[in-house]
Amino acid sequence: MHRLDHPGLVFRSLDPSDGDETLLKGWYEATRRGFHQTRGNDDGFEAWRAHTRNDALTLLGAWSEPSELASATMPVSTFSSWTAPVNVGGGTSLPTRLISDVTVAPTHRRQGLLRKLMTVTLADAVAEGIPLAALTVSEGSIYGRFGFGTATHVRQVEVDVTSKFRFREDAITDDGSVVLAEPAEAWKTVAGIYGTFQDRTRGSVTRPHYYEPWLSSAYDFAGDSKDESKQRVGVHLDSGGTPDGYVVYRTADERNDSGLRMAKVVDLVALTPSAYLRLWRFLADIDLVERVGWAKAPVQDPLYWALAEPFAVKSAELDDFLWMRVLDPVKALQGRPWYADGEIALGIEDPLGHASGTWRVAVRDGRAEVIPTDTIPNVALAADTLGALYLGGVDVRTLAASGRITGSPEAIETWAAMADGGPLPYCITGF
């Protein structure tokens, strides 16, 4: 790789289909080391390899010279990326560079390796005409400098499913049913329901291939073994027998901090409000379970409003989920929906330069026309703030009140009317 250099290191881009097996295994082990996992096994490696091939991953790494102590098949830094559609609202999905497996060994941290690998990856995406990049993160302070902003959120909930769990009389009733299924048999249905959810849900990401072995219980990535777990699936059928929701859950021998028996939702998708509440009724009906936990509940959760005792839902915290990065303001802003006619001159400051400049954003009938302009911007923001705003997960006025959007009050009001108004984005696919 000619554009990357670092003293004492060799950069390589591995071919997932046909790459050197030793280096691929080393790369895989390096990511496991970086995320404090145990050493891998052959089944896990094959499950990972299927993902790298199916999703056509770019696998970048930096290797040091081999020595007597270390054969150096494991790189000191890893970085993967691939392109997949993200639903940006209004029924449109745009190709997005998804970034993952970012690790740097303790021997090489803070020497600029992440910066180099990120810079080259985003520049390649721009050269390929990809308008957006996205990632899910483990630390919040790293990625803003590269133009990423927190674009979607989820809520961690723990629901009391003892006698406190009772719907209000006016809660939507369901005339469908739930079938308990084995994960492998249910997989096709689960994937189909997720596909519809993906098409309908602003902020949703097309799933990488490893969701198949994970949700079909072919491989347990957490336990690093063939899945012997207690993972089960409940599939919701509407009154005509058509599947329109599912929950994948585990009833491990887990207890919460108060010693109460827990079931954990791994993945829950409902295409209708009645399927959503019915799946919660199903979870509440699991015997020998007192609490159900879910780490990816929607920020505005109908369950809370449908229960006679809403305090049965304990919300632990609001978590950031998908971080977005606009690479091409024309394609990205023209691709998303808009909610009022208007026009502003938007100044974007991008530390990496990709979105920098002033852009005339003119909205008519829900669509924007975006062109570069020489006029002085009347609204200005940095690339990470644009990333946060892009899917509508936070509104313009809130960001202006935090100081992250500046401009004339009239122009900010116009921008708010144009940009705000759609459904909150929701993403339940980490990667």
Ligand X SMILES: CC(C)(COP(=O)(O)OP(=O)(O)OC[C@H]1O[C@@H](n2cnc3c(N)ncnc32)[C@H](O)[C@@H]1OP(=O)(O)O)[C@@H](O)C(=O)NCCC(=O)NCCS
Name the residues that contact ligand X, by CB under 6 A: 34, 102-104, 109-115, 137-139, 141-142, 145
Burial classification of residue 4, based on how many CB atoms lie within 10 Å of its CB (0-12 exposed, 13-18 middle, 19 or more buried): middle
Tell me how far, at minimum, the Cβ of 321 lies from ligand X, in Å: 12
d(CA 327, CA 307): 43
d(CA 431, CA 423): 23
d(CA 272, CA 121): 38
Q: Which residue has the tokens 């936070």?
A: 394
Q: Which is nearer to ligand X, 109 or 364 (CB)?
A: 109
**Amino acid in the structure at residue 268:** L
Burial classification of residue 102, based on how many CB atoms lie within 10 Å of its CB (0-12 exposed, 13-18 middle, 19 or more buried): buried
Q: Which is nearer to ligand X, 34 or 61 (CB)?
A: 34
Q: Which is nearer to ligand X, 14 or 113 (CB)?
A: 113
Asked if 357 and 121 count as a contact pair (C-beta separation under 8 A), the reply is no
Burial classification of residue 366, based on how many CB atoms lie within 10 Å of its CB (0-12 exposed, 13-18 middle, 19 or more buried): exposed
**How are beta strands 149-150 and 323-326 bridged, if at all?**
antiparallel
> Which among 425, 422, 388 is positioned nearest to 405, based on CA atoms?
388
Q: Which is nearer to ligand X, 3 or 364 (CB)?
A: 3
Q: Which is nearer to ligand X, 103 or 378 (CB)?
A: 103
Partners of 11 in the β-ladder: 62
- Among all residues, whose Cβ is closest to ligand X? 114
Tell me how far, at minimum, the Cβ of 135 lies from ligand X, in Å: 7
Tell me how far, at minimum, the Cβ of 101 lies from ligand X, in Å: 8
Tell me how far, at minimum, the Cβ of 140 lies from ligand X, in Å: 9
Q: Which is nearer to ligand X, 67 or 141 (CB)?
A: 141
Tell me how far, at minimum, the Cβ of 114 lies from ligand X, in Å: 3
Tell me how far, at minimum, the Cβ of 166 lies from ligand X, in Å: 40
